[in-house]
Amino acid sequence: MRNKGFTLAELLAVIVILGLVAVIAVPAVTKTLGGTKSELCEDQLKNIKEAARLYGSDHMLELPDNEGETKTITLKDLQMGGYIKENLENPKNKQEINSGLTITITKQGQNKWKYEVEDFCNS
């Protein structure tokens, strides 16, 4: 009468196959997660820029008057005004984004301003 278990060779074959699947899958998953963190960071930058636009629309008299002139505000200004939440986190390194992060507002024509956020994603 024969035992109904697996042989050592069958178990080793299964382990080798699972190992190969892991070798193929782990780098793909890691790359996908890294890309997702970059996308989240870019979204965070867009949200800060949008908050700065809202700030600008509420503080029109403080914006630059002449083309090429700039005004700099900080993340803290946006947080204190309630335009963006406090304790923002960089998705890439899980560190809090410095409240001294600068946003530059540049006059670019009649009733047009350009908003540039200091890039914290690539630091």
pLDDT value of residue 34: 66
Q: Which helix (H) or strand (E) holds 66?
A: none
| pLDDT tens digits, 5-27 | 888 899 999 999 999 999 988 88
pLDDT value of residue 103: 94
Cα–Cα distance between 108 and 4 in angstroms, integer?
80
Buried b (16+ CB within 10 A) or exposed e, 2-24: eeeeeeeeeeeeeeeeeeeeeee
For the chain, strand residue ranges (E) read 70-74, 102-107, 113-117
Cα–Cα distance between 16 and 13 in angstroms, integer?
5
Mean pLDDT, the chain, whole residue set: 87
pLDDT value of residue 100: 85
pLDDT value of residue 91: 82
User: Is the pTM value of this prediction over 0.85?
Assistant: no
**Averaged pLDDT, 60-70:** 90
Comparing 10 with 29, which gets the higher pLDDT?
Answer: 10
| pLDDT tens digits, 72-104 | 999 999 999 999 988 888 888 888 888 888 999
Cα–Cα distance between 107 and 69 in angstroms, integer?
6
